[in-house]
Amino acid sequence: MSFSSRALRIHVPATSANLGPGFDTLGLALAYGDELTVVTREEPGAHVTVQGVGAGEIETDETNLVVRSAAYVFERLGRVLPGLEIEANNRIPHGRGMGSSGSAIVAGVMIAAGLLASDPDDPLELTEDQLLAYATDLEGHPDNVAPALFGGLTIAWTNEDGPRFKRLLVHRGVAPLVLVPTFTMSTQHARSLQPEHVPHEDAVFNLSRSALLIAALTQSPELLLEATEDRLHQSYRGEAMPATRDLVRALRAAGHPAVVSGAGPSILVLSNGPAERLAASDLVGEIAPEWRVLTLAIDIKGATVEEIPVDSAFSSRV
């Protein structure tokens, strides 16, 4: 690729995976995300300026996950990644089950897609299947990267041709609430707590609830409490995050469809309407005031990339 300075702006939403019974399959994009501004430069390598979440903690050179993800796509396509100057404005909490690593990977994939599409010498448009495949290669499973890429509610699976997804529109009555604690949880540790085998009746239970959850989220939100029941993963992880376990139990006992968000420790409440969401928020304020409450919408766009003028890319810098 011949060098020509270009600038992009990327937005990637947070996500919540599993949604209770849909382990490693269902994911939801949330209107709360990270924004990155990217400018190509003649010098090789990368420099990342981080504002917000992760500032002073995450890598700021080519070892940064966003940069590594962009480089992976270029390498797979036999292209050379240009030098990058990146400004990341991060809002997604890290280590809290809101898809921060998947969103970083998607950001890198979208940077690559934007640069390849705008290459003046040899433009290349990546397909949705390619975007999902590259992101899944890096993340290991598609349940978080699919909603981050495409928005809405996604069902993700893998066949002999690679990862696949189906995007669905969520019923307008569904009102998400995300509860974020001060402590973190390693996804790897959370996954290690699950047994290799589960009882047959538990597998059947989750199959029925997963099917019901699709109906509840797209057509009948009044069924969300029963549809979000789970026997495959949440109980096994509960001992590692007792505060999350206890708050989920308290919310569900009060009639609120609360589940562990991703691997935790955040909690997702899929309320049936704003009034029920407000009641759930008030309950959390009474029994767990130390938890941060995020009243969110569902992101229907997914990740976006736009080309912007180079001279205005970092105009917000002081």
As a whole number, mean pLDDT of residues 130-149 equals 97
pLDDT at position 312 is 85
Q: Among all chains, which residue has been given the structure tokens 């549809």?
A: 227
Kindly write down the DSSP assignment for every residue of 171-218, as one continuous string. Answer: PTTEEEEEEE-SS---HHHHHHTS-S---HHHHHHHHHHHHHHHHHHH
Task: Return the bridge partners of 9, or none.
Answer: 37, 306
Tens digit of pLDDT for each residue in 127-138?
999 999 999 999
Whether the CA torsion 128, 129, 131, 135 is positive or negative: it is positive
As a whole number, mean pLDDT of residues 37-42 equals 96
Tens digit of pLDDT for each residue in 247-256?
999 999 999 9
101 is in an annotated binding site: yes
Do the Cβ atoms of 179 and 269 come closer than 8 Å?
A: yes
**Residue 318: is its pLDDT beyond 50?**
no
**pLDDT above 90: percentage of residues in the chain:** 85
Taking the C-alpha atoms of residue 163 and residue 160, their distance in angstroms, rounded to an integer, is 8
C-alpha closest to that of 108 among 81, 129, 128: 81
102 is in an annotated binding site: yes
**pLDDT above 70: percentage of residues in the chain:** 94
**Residue 62: is its pLDDT beyond 80?**
yes
Do the Cβ atoms of 129 and 123 come closer than 8 Å?
A: no
99 is in an annotated binding site: yes
103 is in an annotated binding site: yes
The superfamily CATH assigns to domain 174-295 is GHMP kinase, C-terminal domain (3.30.70.890)
Ranges 9-13, 215-219, 309-313: which has the least confidence = 309-313
pLDDT at position 39 is 97
Check residues 196 and 6 and name the one with the higher pLDDT: 6
**Do β-strands 7-17 and 46-52 pair in parallel, antiparallel, or remain unpaired?**
unpaired
Kindly write down the DSSP assignment for every residue of 93-145, as one continuous string. Answer: PTTSSS-HHHHHHHHHHHHHHHHHHT-SSS--PPPHHHHHHHHHHHHSSSTTH
97 is in an annotated binding site: yes
Ranges 53-57, 78-82, 231-235: which has the least confidence = 231-235
C-alpha closest to that of 27 among 133, 154, 206, 139: 154
**Residue 99: is its pLDDT beyond 60?**
yes
Domain ranges of the chain: 7-167+300-312, 174-295
Ranges 3-12, 34-43, 123-132, 179-188: which has the least confidence = 179-188
pLDDT at position 3 is 53
Half-sphere exposure (Cβ direction) of 251: Cα atoms closer than 13 Å: 33
163 is in an annotated binding site: no
176 is in an annotated binding site: no
CATH code for residues 7-167+300-312: 3.30.230.10
As a whole number, mean pLDDT of residues 111-117 equals 97
94 is in an annotated binding site: yes
Asked whether the whole model's pTM tops 0.85, one would answer yes
pLDDT at position 198 is 79
pLDDT at position 192 is 63
pLDDT at position 186 is 64
Tens digit of pLDDT for each residue in 184-216?
876 666 556 666 777 888 889 999 999 999 999
315 is in an annotated binding site: no
pLDDT at position 184 is 86
Do the Cβ atoms of 63 and 79 come closer than 8 Å?
A: no
